[in-house]
Amino acid sequence: MPLKILIVEDDPKTSEAICSGLSSENFSVTPALTGDEAEVRLREEAFDLILLDWMLPGASGIEILGNTRLRGIRTPVLLLTARDAVEDRVLGLDSGADDYLVKPFAFAELLARIRVLLRRTSRETALQHQIADLHLDLTSRQVRCGGAEILLTPREFEVLHFLMRAEGEVVTRAMLAREVWREPNRSTPLDNVIDVHLARLRKKIDEGRPSKLIHTIRGVGYLCADKRLSSPGKPSE
Amino acid sequence: MKMGLQAAAGSDGSWWRRRSLKLRLALWFSLIACTLVLGLLPVAYYQIERRLGIDLDHQMEIDWVLIEAHLEADEAGGVRWKKDSPSTLESGGYSESWFDVWSDSTPLMSHTPRGGVPIQTPPRQLQSGEAFYSLVFSGEREARVLQKSAQISGRSVTLRVFRDRSNLRETLRQVLWVFVLGVPVAILLAATGGYFMAGRAMRPIVAMTERARLITSESLGQRLPNPNPHDELGQLATVFNGTLERLENSFESLRRFTADASHELRTPLMALRSVGEIALRESGDAAELRETIGSMLEEAQRLHDLADTLLMLARVEGGRTPIALERVDLGELVEGVVESIEVLAAEKGQKIEVASPDQVITIVADRTLLRQATMNLLHNAIRYSPIGSTVRIHCRLNMGAAEIEVADEGPGIAAEHREKVFERFYRIDKARSRAEGGAGLGLALAKVFVEQCGGTIHLSSEVDQGSRFCIRLSRRDCAPA
């Protein structure tokens, strides 16, 4: 049974894009375009996750959040907003949101956050990852390809680990910068650095391999997957 | 609204405050002249009166001596004008003098000038030492009298000499008239002179006002006239012109920023649009469409990053980002930065040389901001240095300040660009594409970040000799270890 997500977003285009994106990831989505509609939906149904826009016609996202929590509903809430000042983040999280995503965001990022909130995957905590014949062992910090060890720098290892952990999901540069380089700020030359690292990593992993494992999704980021097994819903190159 | 403003102007400030400075100065001059004249004239009048009195008394003393010398006793026991005297009673010197001779209370001789009224009062009993007194004769006329005892032909008599004081009073009256008529004229002259002199002094101010009125945001290149930079007005003009220059520079920066920002924002928008439109027009297969969408996303990402960066700049500059001050080890910070981005140098075959200090340099700063500033400087050096060159990064103590210096072997920066490279979107080579140079915000960010940490950033560079960017952080507010 698919997980149910309520999407409270007043901009129809954004709402539609998110709904369609999440549907193709096999979620069951319910859109609500106003705060009042969201309140009604929340009374009628139980959801596994709520995507909540802050600025809404009718009741604001923060109010809905307050009401929901007052009624004892502990459903995880991911707050979406264009307000990214530090005090806004604090207010959002204090009001009971579980995570906070600043618009505009990459869909890949949204998906990653949703998966974290739903704790659907055990890949997060796994100590070993395997894609095709590529094997990563977190304990020994070794990467093997069909038995032969591939020597990676510590940074390359962390990048590969992050990509493999999110197997099949697109990883944006912003996510890599934040998670691997611990650099939340976007106005740094890190994107160039990430590209260089990815190019080197790809050279070490994919050279001489008939079917590549590391893919560039133009305009979005990178993806690590064995495309021979890719499902029809997934992008193919 | 207008009425209200006028009423406000009317109620605010007295009549005096609303006059022109020129008129006020003139009125001040007049007031001072008035005080001076009215204060000095009585003194002058009194002095003139005294002097005239003293002169008259002197004259009478001379008269008395001369007359005594010309008198002799006659046979009848009286007194007469000397028979053998060369001058007579009608001679010039005596014609205006009254005199009489008394023996006790008996009149012996009396002389009245021609046309004069006889004075017929007996001599007074005088205190010893007293000789002069005044008396009124024939009703309203006042006479000055010198009365002394004289020896005439061995006989002791009283000789009195008179002079009419009316002439003196007439003179004094004329003086008074001159004063009364002269004072208003003098005050008027002072006022007029003051008015014109004030006008003369104000003329440069008026000229400045006229010129300043013509200066608008469109003509900030103009300057106030400054004929004499040494006097107070000249200094005012110098200060004002300095302000104008700074204003012109900031307007120029703002104009450039607006133009550059709109260019930087429009370019990705334009690309987004045209790529989308063309893809719609052509019927491509799925792969081609994916390619198109990817390209559009890239442009969207570029816009996104640009907006983020500009927002952050505005926030940091507006002081709306909390600064987290902490102790930062500069050597460690530099190593971290180098470790992060040295792959970019490696891609260009460049070498990064890190000169570590002998001792640990600790300062108090916002680690994140300082790290990004350093990272941007290093990235800038890597980006503009030729393939295979060396970039040197060096942190040290210099005259009590901590410094991080990034030196490259790039083409250098000409003097006219040196200040401007820290401006947003400023690119030395306008033709340089975005792919080669960034959005032109790296150095602007570095400068803002360093300044938020209380430091400064300097650039020294010569064309063809490379550039040195130096972050200088004062250590005086460094907390004790």
CATH number, domain B232-316: 1.10.287.130
Burial pattern A126-144, b for ≥16 Cβ within 10 A else e, equals eeebebeebbbeeeeeebe
> Contact A192/B379, CB-based, under 8 Å?
yes
Query: What are A177-219's pLDDT values in tens digits?
Result: 888 888 877 667 788 899 999 999 999 998 888 888 999 888 8
Per-residue pLDDT of chain B (481 residues; tens, 9 = 90+): 444 444 444 445 688 888 888 888 888 888 888 888 889 888 999 999 999 889 988 988 888 888 888 888 888 878 888 888 777 777 766 667 788 888 877 888 888 877 777 877 888 888 887 888 888 877 777 888 899 888 888 888 888 888 888 878 888 899 889 988 888 888 888 888 888 888 888 888 888 888 888 888 778 888 888 878 888 888 888 888 888 888 888 888 788 778 777 877 888 888 888 888 888 887 778 888 888 888 888 888 888 888 888 888 887 777 777 788 888 899 999 998 998 888 889 988 999 999 877 888 888 888 888 998 999 999 989 988 899 999 999 988 888 889 999 999 988 888 888 888 888 887 777 655 555 556 778 888 899 889 888 899 999 888 888 899 999 998 755 444 3
Euclidean distance between CA atoms A225 and A212, whole angstroms: 8
Euclidean distance between CA atoms A25 and A11, whole angstroms: 21
Report the gap between the CA of A68 and the closest CA in chain B (Å).
Answer: 32
Interface-testing mutation among B340, B377, B445, with chain A (most A C-beta atoms within 10 A)? B340
Measured from the Cβ of residue A23, the count of other Cβ atoms closer than 10 Å reads: 14
Q: Is B220 on the interface with A (CB under 8 A)?
A: no
Q: Is B445 on the interface with A (CB under 8 A)?
A: yes
CA dihedral (A102, A108, A111, A113) in degrees, to 10, reads: -50
pLDDT at residue number B457: 92
> Contact A218/B321, CB-based, under 8 Å?
no
| Mean pLDDT for the stretch of residues A93-107 | 86
Residues 6+ apart with CB under 8 A from B340: A181, A183, A190, A193, B375
> Contact B344/A200, CB-based, under 8 Å?
no
Contact B46, B175 (CB under 8 A): no
Nearest-5° Cα angle at A180, A179 to A183? 70
Euclidean distance between CA atoms B103 and B113, whole angstroms: 22
Edge to edge, what strands does the sheet with A170-172 contain?
A170-172, A221-224, A214-217
Residue type, B438: G
Q: Which residues of A touch B368 (CB under 8 A)?
A: 185
Rg (CA), chain A: 20
pLDDT at residue number B2: 43
- Taking alpha carbons only, the member of A11, A14, A54, A51 closest to residue A30 is A51
> Contact A104/B304, CB-based, under 8 Å?
yes
Q: How far apart, in Å, do the first and last CA atoms of chain A sit? A: 30
CATH 3.30.565.10 residue ranges for chain B: 323-474
Torsion sign over Cα B270, B273, B278, B281: negative
Contact B90, B81 (CB under 8 A): no
Class of domain B323-474: alpha beta
Q: Closest to A187 (Cβ–Cβ): which among B297, B340, B445?
A: B445
Euclidean distance between CA atoms B142 and B172, whole angstroms: 14
Q: Closest to B296 (Cβ–Cβ): which among A104, A185, A219?
A: A219
Please report how the helices A12-24 and A107-118 are oriented relative to each other, as an axis angle in degrees rounded to 10: 60
pLDDT at residue number B189: 87
Q: At which residue do the structure tokens 């799925």 appear? A: B286
- B242 burial via Cβ count (<10 Å: 0-12, 13-18, 19+): exposed
Contact B463, B414 (CB under 8 A): yes
Eight-state DSSP code of residue B420: G
Tokens of B32: 């001072």
Q: Which residues of B touch A183 (CB under 8 A)?
A: 340
pLDDT at residue number B250: 82
Euclidean distance between CA atoms A149 and A137, whole angstroms: 11
Question: Which stretches of chain A sit within 8 Å of chain B by CB?
Answer: 84-86, 104, 181, 183, 185-193, 196-197, 200, 217-220, 235
Euclidean distance between CA atoms B135 and B142, whole angstroms: 6
Q: What is the ipTM of this complex?
A: 0.72
pTM for the structure as a whole:
0.61
Residues 6+ apart with CB under 8 A from A219: B293, B294, B295, B296, B297, B298, B299, B300, B301
Burial pattern B26-60, b for ≥16 Cβ within 10 A else e, equals bbebbeebbeebeeebeeeeeeebeebeeebeebb
pLDDT confidence band for A30 (50 / 70 / 90): very high
Q: Closest to B341 (Cβ–Cβ): which among A84, A86, A189?
A: A189
Q: Closest to B375 (Cβ–Cβ): which among A84, A189, A220?
A: A189
> Contact A86/B322, CB-based, under 8 Å?
yes
Q: Is B320 on the interface with A (CB under 8 A)?
A: yes
Report the gap between the CA of A23 and the closest CA in chain B (Å).
Answer: 20
CB pairs under 8 A between A and B: 68
B20: left (phi over 0), alpha (psi -120 to 50) or beta: beta
Residues 6+ apart with CB under 8 A from B462: B412
Tokens of B240: 């004002």
CATH 1.10.287.130 residue ranges for chain B: 232-316
Q: Which residues of A touch B375 (CB under 8 A)?
A: 188-189
pLDDT at residue number A210: 83
- B183 burial via Cβ count (<10 Å: 0-12, 13-18, 19+): middle
Edge to edge, what strands does the sheet with A134-137 contain?
A128-131, A134-137, A142-145, A148-150
Q: Express as a percent the part of chain A with pLDDT over 70.
A: 92
Euclidean distance between CA atoms A153 and A130, whole angstroms: 19
Q: Which residues of B touch A194 (CB under 8 A)?
A: none
Tokens of A181: 């380089």
pLDDT at residue number B254: 82
Report the gap between the CA of A157 and the closest CA in chain B (Å).
Answer: 15
Euclidean distance between CA atoms A60 and A57, whole angstroms: 7
Contact A58, A34 (CB under 8 A): yes
Whether residue A104 has a cis bond before it, omega within 30° of 0: yes
Query: What are A117-164's pLDDT values in tens digits?
Result: 887 555 566 788 888 889 999 889 999 988 889 999 999 999 999 999
Q: Closest to B295 (Cβ–Cβ): which among A192, A196, A219?
A: A219
Q: Which residues of B touch A217 (CB under 8 A)?
A: 294
Phi, psi of B107, deg, nearest 5: -75, 130
CA B290 to each of CA A25, B44, B224, B346, B476: distance values in angstroms, whole numbers, following the listed order:
19, 110, 62, 32, 57
Contact A201, A152 (CB under 8 A): yes
Residues 6+ apart with CB under 8 A from B191: B26, B27, B29, B30, B33
pLDDT at residue number B426: 79
Residue type, A172: T
Report the gap between the CA of A185 and the closest CA in chain B (Å).
Answer: 9
> Contact B340/A196, CB-based, under 8 Å?
no
> Contact B343/A197, CB-based, under 8 Å?
yes
Interface-testing mutation among B289, B302, B308, with chain A (most A C-beta atoms within 10 A)? B308
Euclidean distance between CA atoms B162 and B116, whole angstroms: 11
- A110 burial via Cβ count (<10 Å: 0-12, 13-18, 19+): middle
Q: Is B341 on the interface with A (CB under 8 A)?
A: yes
Euclidean distance between CA atoms B415 and B413, whole angstroms: 7
- Taking alpha carbons only, the member of B215, B209, B205, B213 closest to residue B247 is B215
Domains of chain A in start order, with CATH, are 4-118 (3.40.50.2300), 124-229 (1.10.10.10)
Q: Which residues of B touch A109 (CB under 8 A)?
A: none
